[in-house]
Amino acid sequence: MSGQQHTIGGEVEFRSAGLHTGEETTVRLRPAPVGTGIRFRRIDLDPVVEIPLDLEHRREHPRRTSFAVGDAEVHTVEHLLAPIHILGIRNLIVEMDGPEVPGMDGSSVEFFDRIQEAGVVAQEQRGRSLTIREATGVQSGSSSLVALPGEDRFRVSYTLHYQSTPPITQFQSFTLDAETFRREIAPARTFVMESEVKDLQSRGLGRGATTENTLVIGPEGPIDNEFRFPDELVRHKILDMIGDLAVLGSDLVGHFVAHRSGHALNGDLAARLGEVYSRERDVEAILIDAQGGLDVRQIQKILPHRYPFLLVDRILEIDQNVRAVGLKNVTYNEDFFQGHFPGQPVMPGVLQIEAMAQLSGVLLLRNTEDINKLAYILSVDNVKFRKTVVPGDQLILEAELKKLRSRTGQVQARALVEGQVVAEATLRFMIVDAY
């Protein structure tokens, strides 16, 4: 399964001028409960406005990544979001007393180090994961960005090209984890070509940028500064992409290949992935929240069965991913009663096993990293039927996970009526791709 959700271990505060607005802003990171997501909180507004990090609240602004609710906006969030994403933090309150995240030194290194010092705390709920299964891309002019399957981790490859004097072409590719990000990506600073400076300033951008927090690239290299890496520019582009894809709120598994991509195209790919994997994301959200139970509509989004063969009406709870409880209301209207002992209706034992198997399927799916799986019965052992099930009974189903491997699972299941066991069995499943 995908990893657990995480939050920060304690409060962390940053303060400096924003790169574009030039306004001094304090950002305070606060731990948040499971299911919160990343939320920006504009505490300088009255009333305070919370802005969720999601695709719906993304806003287009030049040279930066922004989110908004109404007129309340937060800007240049990508340098902060990149380390948050790589460290697996999915629940966090980001309090801000201004509109733009502090620019710091133009990189993510201080954000990363201070967050890591505060600690990353695992929480008691499954996290989201998005595994690329088919090539999905976006393009604008000569710029492109595509997500490719075939990787078992998060990999980014980027080709940078500027028709400057002299032209600049750089390429880098990294399989990303926290250690690699800190060493190879986090120190890379934002940059601007010297030829762009006047235009950006005329548009009201870069008011907080200096040659200390922004690499101004002239014909001979950085003006009044030095590179931290010979290819620092492409590394910062990768940093930006990581921060921009954090809007998906998921661990990413796949190979992301970019050619001259920027914030707008990164955001477009995130939106496209949200569309392509909408069903998977909906199902995953249901499974994450399954402790509170699932109704039949939610169950139908997970299981491939439909009336008259959907034999679980409701899932009451999933406990710590090892035990699930569901129910089936047995009524006179069941199709099978028309031909199975019609004079004295009895629920077929094989359908009691099927009901237990369907509940087990949800439990197995919740524990499987890839939600696009199906569970087929391999064997049914130690079957016992202890009491007949008749119309009017409410069948309480219980399933307990005993073993789980990449392709097989074993579940101990039983069915009860009014607290008495009416059937039980050991079920073994083969776990296969849904398509």
Residues acting as catalytic residues: 263, 340
Position 426, amino acid: T
Q: How far apart are CA 382 and CA 181, in angstroms?
A: 51
Q: How far apart are CA 104 and CA 83, in angstroms?
A: 14
Locate 19 and state its tokens. 């790169």
Positive or negative torsion for Cα 63, 64, 65, 67? negative
Q: Strand 38-42 and strand 92-96: pairing?
A: parallel
Instruction: Respond yes or no on whether the N-terminal peptide bond of residue 99 is cis (omega within 30° of 0).
Output: no
Burial 324-350 (b: 16+ CB within 10 A, else e): bbbbbebeeebeebeeeeeeebebebe
- Indicate the DSSP class of residue 369: S
Cβ-based burial of 151 (10 A; exposed 0-12, middle 13-18, buried ≥19): middle
Tell me if residue 355 falls in helix, strand or coil: helix
Residue 63 CB: number of other CB atoms within 10 A?
Answer: 18
Burial 409-431 (b: 16+ CB within 10 A, else e): bbbbbbbbbeeeebbbbebbbeb
Locate 18 and state its tokens. 């924003």
Nearest to 169 by CA among 230, 228, 224, 226: 230
Q: How far apart are CA 4 and CA 401, in angstroms?
A: 18
Element at 122 (helix H, strand E): strand 120-126
Q: Which residues contact 24 (CB under 8 A, 6 or more apart)?
A: 15, 16, 17, 98
Cβ-based burial of 139 (10 A; exposed 0-12, middle 13-18, buried ≥19): middle
Positive or negative torsion for Cα 222, 205, 166, 236? positive
Q: How far apart are CA 133 and CA 371, in angstroms?
A: 12
